[in-house]
């Protein structure tokens, strides 16, 4: 791992993933899928199984025009529901949006974002999530509005609707770099998962991995790719010598 003092050296832009990186929301999507399974079948598989099935499906369908719809088609088959894939997707989104309204930034993430903004860095959000989910954070989440509003913090926001292939494909990061007119070496990405790190590194970006327990099964592969490991944002700011 590289010294943390080199994290922002000669950098002009900082690119962030959302789920797991800025918010502890990976479990929320598992909560949503668990609730969906109970609605459709009266019971639900093990949570680890739910997450593994979701991640494997999204990897398989990452090059499809609507990977999440393809995932919901797999859920339709898995649970034998008479609902169409589009109806399964709509119900899943409704459940998730209810949960996302109550989400909060990871401890210190909002402080770090504001500190970066105050220091003149270009901030970019590059998420595999849907724009409708980001809109929940933008318009209905009170914690986000009070601490670090999406529209006030980020100069650009990219979601799965902005690309043809989702992470681990590097397209979303390559698009951001092209739009910014910056070389990869002038930017750094913050990620938490293997697919996210693979996407960032595939675009040539130095990458800081924010620890998230949900990614522990892939920790060895993540660590092999990461340039920096971040336990949390308060510790990162202390290491950088940035007071709150």
pLDDT tens digits for 68-107? 999 999 999 999 999 999 999 999 989 988 888 889 999 9
pLDDT digits (tens, 9 = 90+) for 132-169: 989 999 999 999 999 999 999 999 999 999 999 999 99
Domain ranges in the chain? 7-24+104-240, 27-100
Residue 204 confidence (pLDDT) above 70 = yes
Tokens encoding 130: 């849907």
3-state secondary structure of 192: coil
Tokens encoding 100: 């996302």
- Edge-first strand order for the sheet with 228-230 is 156-158, 122-126, 13-16, 187-191, 206-210, 228-230
Residue 243 confidence (pLDDT) above 80 = no
7-24+104-240: what CATH class?
A: alpha beta
pLDDT of residue 244: 54
Nearby residues of 42 by Cβ (< 8 Å), 6 or more positions away: none
């Amino acid at each position: 791992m590289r010294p943390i003092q080199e994290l922002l050296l000669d950098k002009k832009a900082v690119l962030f993933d959302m789920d797991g990186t800025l918010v502890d929301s990976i479990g929320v999507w598992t909560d949503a899928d668990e609730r969906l399974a109970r609605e459709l079948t009266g019971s639900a598989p093990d949570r680890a199984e739910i997450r593994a099935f979701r991640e494997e499906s999204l990897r398989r369908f990452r090059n499809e025009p609507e990977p999440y719809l393809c995932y919901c088609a797999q859920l339709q088959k898995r649970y034998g529901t008479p609902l169409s894939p589009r109806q399964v997707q709509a119900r899943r989104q409704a459940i998730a949006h209810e949960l996302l309204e109550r989400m909060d930034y990871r401890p210190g993430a909002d402080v770090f974002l504001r500190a970066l903004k105050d220091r003149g860095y270009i901030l970019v959000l590059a998420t595999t999530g849907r724009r409708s989910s980001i809109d929940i954070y933008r318009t209905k989440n009170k914690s986000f509005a009070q601490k670090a509003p999406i529209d006030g913090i980020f100069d650009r926001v990219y979601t799965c609707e902005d690309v043809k292939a989702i992470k681990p494909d590097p397209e979303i990061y390559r698009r951001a770099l092209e739009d910014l007119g910056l070389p990869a070496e002038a930017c750094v990405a913050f990620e938490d998962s293997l697919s996210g790190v693979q996407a960032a590194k595939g675009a040539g970006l130095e990458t800081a991995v924010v620890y998230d327990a949900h990614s522990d099964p892939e920790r060895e592969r993540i660590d092999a790719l990461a340039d920096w490991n971040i336990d949390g944002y308060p510790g990162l700011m202390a290491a950088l010598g940035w007071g709150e």
